[in-house]
Amino acid sequence: MNFEDTGLKPEIIKGVRKLGFEAPMPIQEKVIAAMLNHRSDLVGIAQTGTGKTAAYGLPLVHLIESGQKKVQALILTPTRELCIQVADDITKYARYSNAIEVLALYGGASIENQIRGLKKGVHLVVGTPGRLRDLIKRKKLTIKSINTIVLDEADEMLSMGFKEDLNAILAEAPDSRQTLLFSATMPREIAEIADNYMNDPIEIAVGRRNVGAETVDHVYYMVNASDRYNALKRIADVNPDIYGIVFCRTRKETQEVADKLIGDGYNADALHGDLSQSQRDHVMNRFRIKNLQMLVATDVAARGLDVDDLTHIINYNLPDGSETYIHRSGRTGRAGKKGVCITIIHSREKGKIKMIEKKIRKTFEQKLIPSGTEICEKQLFRLIDKMETVAVDEKQIEPFLPVIYKKLSWLSREELIKHFVSLEFNHFLDFYKDAPDLNILQKAKKSKKKKKSKTTHNQEFSRFFINSGSQDGLEPAYLIGLINENTKKRDIEIGKIEIMKKFAFFEVDSDYADRIIKGFENAEYAGRRVVVELAQQKKEFGVIKRNPKKKKPGKKNKKSKKK
């Protein structure tokens, strides 16, 4: 199918061709047909990078009547950055259409200037929920007569706390409008919006609900928590052409990891909530033009950052929810290109990997952190490849060659190559000389070989009761997040988790038992106070000894008694 077959106006097709679009992507083909032919409400389930902005933007431009100088369509986005980007894209789609005015309305900019823009008259408004609601309250933005309203990345807007604003804006819009909702995942709150504010919406899904993109490979490395940063460095070094985002949990950790990377000579920077808007714009622009290879970011700060051609997403920490993982991983592997989503975990997080696998219906591949030798080999061959393909301008260097030849005449061909490689490569060789093995898996295998050793390590875990369960929405990932948040420590070894309807049990390293009790003293979850206390475990109070080599005594006696 070609764009000419969609029914879009010729001037829009001209703009599409100018942008280099060849044929409509699957979601574009379906949404354009639905908007032009049916005018029914629509729920679109699609990852970022699937072409959904053009899917709704092109038919919106087609439907706007330029002779009527009033707001005819409203697009809501979760962040300032996405708002600006969508407005810019739609302006490009309307390049050859008759004077269609598009205005972006978002927080952090002069509201007076935005009000002046509205007074001049616009056809289409793109905005963030908070600023749009503010302008509606001030009666500066009228949406009583709009024909179409679009909720772009609706799940992100809800996760950022815009539910009340969305409800207020949707309630203000006329019942006769067409409502389009786009989301990468389909949580319960999205279904509620569809039930309350949409009329028998048709669903268009590119891929399956709540699953990762098909073009993304999912990989994890298992290391000790203290080796996490060194593992990140090795991952970057073994992928010398990496262009990706490293996700951290907190602003503090984000800045610390970025500072370490910069100090170690990597093209990296941080993106988090403590940056001013001008600092944020500067960092994001550097990343977009590839002056930075790695952007270290929090989930909140990276929302709305839409960058193509990312090779890697690296989870320095696992997110607390599977939906967040889906959003992170969906930033790579776009437009049919391959991408890799890497997660660095410690041994107690393997259960979380299994949970995410079930959610995204994909299998993670466990890989080993590369050795120093592997990294040096990869970097060396990259250097040689660059040397082979470098453009040589003989006119420019010709005047200098006689002196260079004379200066290096005492070196043989083999010696010249050795000097060249050493000059460019000594820092890698020095750094990775005698580099330790970071893999937990390999260390475990080596320890099993020492059968002669009679000593065994009994790791002790304390078992706790918590007065929240599945009816409160508690899941293992959320419970781990609660432990991390309330203890202010993210590398506590967590053991078995059992979640019942009204309560749950969990195990942690006994060294941190007091920290758990103290940390949860004033904790809350799902709007009520959380009670955490040591649980009774058989004859021992709260303490469980793990020794896989010894069977518990008494089992044979029990069987014999039954006989």
Q: Which two tokens stand for residue 330?
A: 């969906």
Q: Please give the Cα distance from 328 to 212 (Å, whole number).
A: 10
Q: Where in the chain is the domain with CATH 3.30.70.330?
A: 459-546
pLDDT recorded at residue 544:
45
Q: Does the pLDDT of residue 452 top 70, yes or no?
A: no
What confidence score (pLDDT) does residue 56 get? 93
- When the pLDDT of each residue in the chain is averaged and rounded to a whole number, the result is 83
Nearest to 438 by CA among 563, 347, 305: 347
- Per-residue pLDDT, 202: 87
Q: What length does the chain have?
A: 563
CATH number of this structure's domain 3-205, picked from the four choices 1.10.10.350, 3.40.50.970, 3.30.1120.10, 3.40.50.300: 3.40.50.300
What's the mean pLDDT in 342-362?
A: 86
- Output the pLDDT for position 66: 85
Share of residues in the chain with pLDDT > 90 (%):
30
* Residue 147 to residue 140: CA distance in whole angstroms: 18
- The 10s digit of each residue's pLDDT in 469-480 is 888 878 787 788
Q: For residues 303 and 277, is the Cβ–Cβ distance under 8 A?
A: no
Task: Give the per-residue pLDDT at 443.
Answer: 40
Q: Which residues have CB under 8 Å from 436's CB, separation 6+?
A: none
Strands 459-466 and 504-509: antiparallel
Q: What is the pLDDT of residue 47?
A: 66
Could you report the per-residue pLDDT of 177-219, keeping only the tens digit for each?
999 998 877 777 778 888 888 888 888 876 544 445 678 899 9
* Superfamily name with CATH number, domain 216-371: P-loop containing nucleotide triphosphate hydrolases (3.40.50.300)
SS3 530: coil
Distances in whole angstroms, Cα of residue 488 to Cα of each of 350, 481, 485, 491, 533: 21, 10, 5, 10, 18
Q: In the predicted model, is pLDDT for residue 277 greater than 80?
A: no
Residue 539 has pLDDT above 50, yes or no: no
Helices and strands, number each (H, E), in the chain = 23, 23
* pLDDT at residue 481 in the model: 78
Reported confidence tier of residue 16, pLDDT bands at 50, 70, 90: confident
* pLDDT grade for 557, boundaries at 50, 70 and 90: very low
Q: What is the pLDDT of residues 106-130, one digit of tens each?
A: 987 899 999 999 999 999 999 999 9
Report the CATH superfamily, name and number, of domain 459-546: RRM (RNA recognition motif) domain (3.30.70.330)
How far apart are the C-alpha atoms of 189 and 192, rounded to whole Å? Answer: 5
Ranges in the chain annotated CATH 3.40.50.300: 3-205, 216-371
Bigger pLDDT: 302 or 340?
Answer: 340
Contacts of 420 (CB under 8 A, 6+ apart): 387
Residue 268 has pLDDT above 90, yes or no: yes
What pLDDT is attached to residue 335? 64
Conformational region of residue 418, where left means phi above 0, alpha means psi within -120 to 50, and beta covers everything else: alpha
Expressed in angstroms, the distance from the first to the final Cα of the chain is 75
